Amino acid sequence: MREGTAKAIVALGSNIERERNLPEAIRLLRRAPHVTVERVSRFYESPSVGGPEDAPDFFNAAALICTELDPIQLRRALRHIEQELGRERTDDPNAPRTIDLDVAYFGETELDVNGWVLPDPLAGTAPHVAVPIAEVAPDWIHPTDGRTTKEIAEQIGPGEVRTVMAIHLSTPYSPRAPEDFDDVSDVYAPKFESLVREQLLEIGEDPDREGLQRTPLRVAKAMDFLTSGYSTSLEEVVNNAVFDAEGAEEMVLVKDIEFYSMCEHHMLPFFGKAAVAYLPKGKIIGLSKVARIVDVFARRLQVQERLTNQVGDALTEILDPHGVAVVMEGRHLCMMMRGVQKQESAMITSAMRGTFKEDPRTRNEFLDLVV
């Protein structure tokens, strides 16, 4: 965990248009400044407690996050997401709601600010809160009573826990990016779709004509995928696939890794291939994870120079190897389609760390293998 950051757990719930609002809240949480979502629980269903007799059942979830915000700032950021999703808080704490986002735990913090208490008392008494939390952080220790969240969920009682059912949603929404870009049976991200519609009007098109009627939805889905790097953490991608490899000190090279990104100056694509190498210092990483790390940073608005360095820095942070080397060759549509319109031009960038930077022989060995 980086210096100046803290771990926290956010509890989520919805019983108004819950199939849409709960996943959308997770999507917005992933996009929130100074927040990195590391893990999200499955969705659970539970009856409404304390509200009207005919109140619909809730969908609940929990998210483990890393944040640079303090508890008050994080609570404020969660309230902002609630407002975006149409939550209107009233004096009735049990009223149906589009979304409920609460800080359940914030590191080892204990506080009471005008009745707002951390840890959230429901985290120790309510199965619809405790069970999702135990899924994302089973070893998290309650700072007051010393129990783990797994112990809390188990001790609440099996009779109550059975009223909470794990479910799988069939919905065009996704916490990260859609699986089916052509499913246009529902609204995806209303605010985003409205912006795309305005853009079509601005360029002189008719968004209501047959070919464009669902274009705003498709664009919203596509942009969610193409910029999904903003909502993906390194920890989530690596997923503990770092292994001890005593005696392994020879170069590990993965090359011809395809990447697709978008230029931050014109929001036009650039694409190409990357070669990534490292010299292990007792640890190696799963082969596919190298390509996934490239994707994490490529799927953002980028410049190729920064993208190359971010991949190098990420591997250095994860493995602490003797050295890391990255070379990327990209073709940029902002140069090919507009401006000078040079279709055959290519850009090559490199990032050298440790031994690859300090030892010309190691660097040359890498470059000879890449060519």
For residues 203 and 272, state if they share a domain.
no
Asked whether the predicted pLDDT for residue 274 surpasses 50, the reply is: yes
Indicate the residue type of 31. Answer: R
Asked if 53 and 194 sit in the same domain, the reply is no
Catalytic site residue from 17, 151, 334, 365: 334
Tell me the per-residue pLDDT of 77-128, one tens digit each, with 9 for 90 and over: 999 999 988 888 777 767 788 999 999 999 999 999 888 999 999 999 999 8
Positions of E strands within the chain: 6-14, 35-40, 43-46, 58-67, 100-106, 111-113, 116-118, 165-167, 242-244, 252-263, 269-279, 283-285, 301-302, 323-332, 347-354
332 tagged catalytic: yes
Could you say which of 265, 305, 317, 358 is catalytic? 265
Q: Is residue 172 part of a domain?
A: no
User: What's the mean pLDDT when you consider all of the chain?
Assistant: 87
Domain count, the chain: 3
In a domain? residue 179: no
334 is catalytic: yes
Quote the domain boundaries for residue 194. Answer: 190-229
Q: How many Cα atoms within 13 Å fall on the side-chain side of residue 209?
A: 6
Residue 164 has pLDDT above 70, yes or no: no
Q: What is the pTM of this model?
A: 0.65
Residue 322 annotated as catalytic: no
Residue 272 lies in a domain: yes
Alpha-carbon gap, residue 164 to 44, rounded angstroms: 6
Give the N- to C-terminal CA distance of the chain in Å, as an integer: 37
pLDDT digits (tens, 9 = 90+) for 346-365: 999 999 999 999 999 999 99
Query: pLDDT band for position 57 (50/70/90)?
Result: confident
**CA nearest to 278, candidates 160, 362, 180, 183:** 362
Same domain for 359 and 214? no
Query: What is the Cα–Cα distance from 216 to 198, expressed in whole angstroms?
Result: 9
Please report whether residue 343 resides in a domain: yes
Residue 110 domain flag: yes
- Give yes or no: residues 221 and 237 share one domain: no
Tell me if residue 154 is catalytic.
Answer: no
Domain co-membership, 268 together with 299: yes
Whether residues 357 and 243 share a domain: the answer is yes
Tell whether 60 and 43 lie within a shared domain. Answer: yes
**175 falls within a domain:** no
CATH number of residue 38's parent domain: 3.30.70.560
Closest CA to 56 of 84, 11, 97: 97
- Residue pair 15/100 in contact by the 8 Å Cβ criterion: no
- The CATH number that applies at residue 334 is 3.30.1130.10
Active-site residue flag, 66: no
**239 and 222 share a domain?**
no
Measure the CA–CA gap between 32 and 233, rounded to whole angstroms: 13
pLDDT of residue 188: 66
Q: How far apart are CA 122 and CA 35, in angstroms?
A: 23
Instruction: Determine contact, residues 36/186, Cβ cutoff 8 Å.
Output: no
By the 8 A CB rule, do 348 and 273 touch? Answer: no
Domain edge (last residue) among 152, 167, 182: 167
Q: Catalytic site residue 264?
A: yes
Catalytic residue list contains 263: yes
List the one residue out of 257, 322, 268 whose CA is nearest residue 294.
Answer: 257
Looking at the fold, whether 26 and 149 belong to one and the same domain comes out as yes
